[in-house]
A = this chain, B = another copy of it.
Amino acid sequence: MNIDMIRAAAGRLKGHARRTPMLSSPFLNELAGRRVWIKPECLQHTGSFKFRGAWSALSAMDPDTRANGVIAFSSGNHAQGIALAAQRHSVPSVIVMPRDAPALKIANTRALGAEVVLYDRGSEDRDEIGARLASERGLTLIKPFDEPLVIAGQGTCGLEIAEQAKERGIESAQVLVCCGGGGLTAGIALALEADAPGLTVHPVEPDGFDDVKRSLASGGIERNNRTSDNICDAIITPQPGDITFPIMKRLCGAGLSVSETDALKAVALAFLRLKLVAEPGGAVALAAALFHGDALEGDDVIVTISGGNVDPDMFNRALQTLPQGIG
């Protein structure tokens, strides 16, 4: 896992993934007390950075193997990234989803060309179903973060951050990255090590689900006590990956964590000041920049908005955090 793999992924993604812009708002700068630069991966295909890793993995496969198809477990952003990347490679994809996933998420994944295989969380074993399908049909499993080609794809976001920071004359800054299993965080950290060594990555997680923050502090992999009951569902994983953690340990600064309320307030401010739709888990880095500035240093902070796949009710709940009469 190295920078050459990220540069190769960037070559494969060219013309297929979006080069997302880097945005800012004078209102957010004032609120944060420093310049805040936003990398909106909610504008990536399928509404999250996950398409980068999915395309990277699919596009690097041996064509004969790829033609048999790919399989993934996810009801969220990784599922959609894999489904679209497979569709655009004209190969089949199978997404194994829980039967109680929202009907529209199932419909969307199907609409992106995937075959959805439903299982019962209570009585069926997801891994067993996946292994059987993979073996029967010769499908290749694409893991959501602990896979070098996926990390390389996410790292292309870091190459863009390095370029966009340079264009703005930013040589030194903290880069806050919304962090689940660490694929995006590790990928960006590797890219910045090579192309913008004055930029330091800090993972940001939800309070109470800060396995990466605690792992970085202790030096060994720490687990979360639970993996549900938080609105930042997109970035909640049991523990850092075996591949992502050593990279984060070598390259990242201390982790940060934010409350659900802070995440919702950041969603609302992204609406108001950036005209972007962020999901709560995709807004934790912005929340840290806006509401935990005392933990930061320097005049510039760069934040990822990692995804925007939020349902209308949750979005409206976020908007309720704005003062009355705003707009």
Footprint of B on A, CB under 8 Å?
18-21, 23, 26-27, 30, 40, 42-43, 47, 84, 102-105, 108, 111-112, 268, 271-272, 274-278, 308-316, 319-320, 322-323, 325-327
Whether A26 and B84, one on each chain, are in contact in the complex, defined by CB atoms closer than 8 angstroms, is yes
Whether A102 and B275, one on each chain, are in contact in the complex, defined by CB atoms closer than 8 angstroms, is no
Whether B102 and A327, one on each chain, are in contact in the complex, defined by CB atoms closer than 8 angstroms, is yes
Of B103, B271, B276, which is within 8 A of A312 by CB?
B271
Given contacts A18-B21, A102-B325, 6 further A-B contacts (CB under 8 A): A19-B21, A43-B274, A43-B275, A276-B277, A312-B319, A312-B327
Of B26, B112, B274, B316, which is within 8 A of A316 by CB?
B316
Of B112, B274, B313, which is within 8 A of A327 by CB?
B313
Whether A310 and B327, one on each chain, are in contact in the complex, defined by CB atoms closer than 8 angstroms, is yes
Whether B26 and A43, one on each chain, are in contact in the complex, defined by CB atoms closer than 8 angstroms, is no
Bound Cα distance from A16 to B109, whole angstroms: 39
Whether A43 and B27, one on each chain, are in contact in the complex, defined by CB atoms closer than 8 angstroms, is no
Whether B27 and A111, one on each chain, are in contact in the complex, defined by CB atoms closer than 8 angstroms, is yes
Q: Select from chain B the residue with minimum beta-carbon distance to A47.
A: B275
Whether B326 and A315, one on each chain, are in contact in the complex, defined by CB atoms closer than 8 angstroms, is no
Which residues of chain B are within 8 angstroms of A47 by Cβ–Cβ distance? Answer: 275
Q: Select from chain B the residue with minimum beta-carbon distance to A327.
A: B311
Find the residue from A277, A308, A323 having the highest chain B CB count within 10 A.
Answer: A277
Shortest distance between the CB of A310 and any CB in chain B (Å): 7
Whether B21 and A111, one on each chain, are in contact in the complex, defined by CB atoms closer than 8 angstroms, is no
Whether B102 and A42, one on each chain, are in contact in the complex, defined by CB atoms closer than 8 angstroms, is no
Q: Select from chain B the residue with minimum beta-carbon distance to A107.
A: B326
Shortest distance between the CB of A28 and any CB in chain B (Å): 12
Q: Select from chain B the residue with minimum beta-carbon distance to A48.
A: B275
Q: Select from chain B the residue with minimum beta-carbon distance to A18.
A: B21
Bound Cα distance from A278 to B313, whole angstroms: 18
Bound Cα distance from A315 to B317, whole angstroms: 12
Whether A111 and B30, one on each chain, are in contact in the complex, defined by CB atoms closer than 8 angstroms, is yes
Of B21, B112, B314, B323, which is within 8 A of A43 by CB?
B21
